[in-house]
Chains A and B, each alone.
Chain A
Amino acid sequence: MEVKENYQQLEKQFPGKVGDFKGDVPEPYCSVSPESIVEVSRFLRDDAKLKFEVLSDLTALDWPKEEKIQVVYHLYSYSNKSQIVLKVDLPRENPKVSTLEGVWKVANWFEREVFDLFGVIFTGHSDLRRIMLPEDWVGHPLRKDYVEEEEYDGISTQRAPLVEKLLR
């Protein structure tokens, strides 16, 4: 019940920017427009009643059929023991959203990971480099249509033929 109120308050506070509330699922969420994510997050953190102190998780989902990449933010309030989930829809071709580094420092690393594995550009990020993969890696592996290159730096990424033979 209280969870729903949080979302409703958010929709009232930011008309047109926050919407598409889904409440009849195990975990409710709402959509936020890409240009207002920083504003909304800052409000959620600083509001005296809501107090979402931490960014628990930041990740992305790839939906090739809908031609979109969703960046998913899990915020948590230690004071009220409640969670809020924000989703930002971005076009798959050129996914760009502002960084949340100014609101939560931890966003720096989370965003680097999403950049590395999904190729989402976080504008205004202070240090947007790959984090998991080497800098000369090609492609973003967590995208659904990612095809692994046959070799990396002269090292085969395929299974050695001998092993294949043994398995057969």
Chain B
Amino acid sequence: MNETAPVESQGFYTEDMTISVGPQHPSTHGVLRFVVKTDGEVISEAIPDVGYLHRSIEKIGEKVTWHGYVPYTDRADYLAAMFANQVFCMAAEKLAGTEVTRRGEFCRVIACELNRIASHLISVGTFGQDIGAMTPFVHALRERETINNLMEEICGARLTYNYIRIGGVGYDILPETCTRISEFLDHFEPIVDEFNRLLSNNKIFIERLAGVAVVSKEDALSYNLVGPNLRGCGIKWDIRRDIPYSVYPELEFEVPVGTGRVGTLGDSYDRYWVRICELQESCKILRQCLKMLPKGPAIAKVARKFKPPVGECYARVEAPRGDMGFYVVSDGSEYPYRVRIRTGSFTAMSIIDKLSKGIMVADLIALIGSLDVDAPEIDR
């Protein structure tokens, strides 16, 4: 048989295969599906199919009161519920001109940064698991468990907090809890190094990620990538620093950006590395907050029938998955006229179609993990 002749002439033929991946593949970070066209192991197209977790949170917003909507915002992104709480309250406060108490602001930052650590731990842990490293996932979840316990102490819930309310926070943080948070930080900071030894500097891990799915700066802007995904491309943009809100201007922290540490700038590893660096920055912020925590009431006096004047506003915070924005419109009644939630995962998901062209099937999983997309946040 002539081996150099094309296979077609030997009676064989090849064609692209269309495979449905999902809707519940363990590595897809929630319920989402891809229609993947492959030529052997090489992907020619991966079309994301989202919407499996659509709960119409935006429509619910038109049916419940302003105060009553806070628990629903938890469900937008259940890995980082605190941020949705905060950004909705910030939007409502901006509309009504409500002042947040100073202690309330600090409590918010403490709760949010703890939540950020928890969310990033899930992100980097599952990322390792996605590409075959089981152990770091267990380590990450062990640390997250401690944070969940702390959260339970702060607000009584472990995942969907309903902690941040319009005007401040629901419950004050007790001195004992502060001690426990600081003990956790003492314990956790060395763990990041352990994580680096286990995962970040692991040769197999690096080989799998270096140079995979590189996002250029232009694409990052055009697709509006936000948060660690944007910073992974080398763009130094952090809302906490650049559009300061809450008490962040008083705190000192670095904004880590991707540098092409092991491969190309903007590859999957850079996005992962930014998250690891942010773990340490969050610890720094927490330590400062615990030191600076002022005395006073945790929540301002807010009318039970909260009726912001007619108007609209857009508030944004730096959530673990980047710029989370709430666009709220008030018609002066007890109910919001419209609540729009803009999330980082939604835009991150839309770039996958472009990035997946020409990569291997196994790299698709690495790509999804590195973008840290979270299905509930995409579908809302």
Contacts and interface: CB of A to CB of B under 8 A. Distances in A.
Given A57-B325, A85-B314, A106 B94 contact: no
Contacts of B39: none
A104 interface: yes
A144 B312 CA distance: 17
A56 B51 contact: no
Interface string B2-37: 000000000000000000000000000000000000
B338 A108 contact: no
Interface stretch (B54-62, B112-120, B132-140, B257-265): B54-62
A45 B259 CA distance: 26
A26 B51 contact: no
Interface string A133-146: 11000000110100
A1 B66 CA distance: 31
Contacts of A43: none
A42 to B, nearest CB: 13
Nearest to A74: B314
Contacts of A72: 327
B50 interface: yes
A11 interface: no
Interface in B122-179: none
A132 B51 contact: yes
B283 interface: no
Nearest to B49: A131
A26 B95 contact: yes
Contacts of B313: 26-27
B54 A57 contact: no
B58 A142 contact: yes
B51 A109 contact: no
Interface string A56-80: 1101011000000000101000100
B221 A26 contact: no
Interface of B: 50-51, 54, 56, 58-59, 62, 94-95, 219, 221-224, 235, 237, 242-243, 311-314, 316, 323, 325, 327, 329, 337-338, 340, 342, 346-347, 349-351, 354, 379
12 contacts: A25-B312, A27-B311, A56-B224, A56-B316, A61-B329, A85-B314, A106-B350, A109-B350, A130-B51, A131-B51, A132-B50, A142-B58
List 6 tightest A-B contacts by C-beta distance, closest first: A109-B350, A106-B224, A132-B54, A132-B51, A57-B342, A105-B222
